[in-house]
Amino acid sequence: MELTVLGRYGPYPAAGGACSGYLVTAGTTRLLVDCGAGVLSRLAAHLPLEGLTGVILSHLHSDHTSDYFVLRYALEVAQFQGRRREPLPVWAPPEPAEEFGRLGYRNVFTVRPVLEGQAVQVGELTAVPFAGRHSVPAFGWLFTAGGAKLAYSGDTELYPDFPARVQGADLFLCEATYTETQLSQGARNHLAAGQAARAARAAGVKRLLLTHLSPPQDHRVLLQEAQAEFPAAELAAEGKTYSVSA
């Protein structure tokens, strides 16, 4: 299994960057996880857009979904030109209902609601959602293929069972929006880098990639706070492909 980081920023992209978007591949399976601002053009550098196997949206905030509404046009053109026939499967939280209702478009998507703990099969990948704690319903995901395990936090605050949800992951892609100082000042709805690292340590993961980085932050501080708790922490690098193996 491989993870390609298409975008790592939130809630808006840095200059030349992109919001949350990740390509997870296993064999011939090509799964797009989140599709924020700037992700689609990056994805097109890796495969024809009609070559996707499926899309998972962790939650329905715009920094995770905005380019999804452009992807529909690419798929519509591909259908018209005969390069794709079947609708693209999409999995997303059913709430907020108004946002979920916007996800369908003609016959280019088949949109399916996500239920906590209910596994979905996407080609050669098995994907299991777990509920996070955010300002709207949001899910993290566990992806497995060939014995390898990739965990993705989505957007979430820390909660007691969080480390258990990502236990033993070979690679843990985790949001790190805040510094510890910001957290002590009342920042909510997201994790601090130190929290992500402590969760990684408690979960016994092999590697930690920090993502959902806020553009104004000093990312060196985020990395230092994380590495103080989990030395193997790294900042997710846009455009880089990471191998995930057991």
Give me the residue label for tokens 């993290």.
140
Pair 162, 170: CB distance under 8 Å: no
Q: Tell me the pTM.
A: 0.97
**Parallel/antiparallel/unpaired status of strands 208-211 and 233-235:** parallel
Three-class secondary structure of residue 122 per DSSP: strand
Band (pLDDT 50/70/90 cuts) for residue 43 is very high
pLDDT in tens, 3-30: 999 999 999 999 999 999 999 999 999 9
In sequence order, what DSSP letters do the residues of 68-118 get, joined into one string? HHHHHHHHHHHHHTTS--SPEEEEE---SHHHHHTS--TTTEEEEE--TT-
Q: What is the pLDDT of residues 56-80, one digit of tens each?
A: 999 999 999 999 999 999 999 999 9
CA dihedral 146, 237, 194, 118 (to 10 degrees): -40
- Structure token pair of residue 103: 């996800």
Domains, the chain, ordered by start: 2-243 (3.60.15.10)
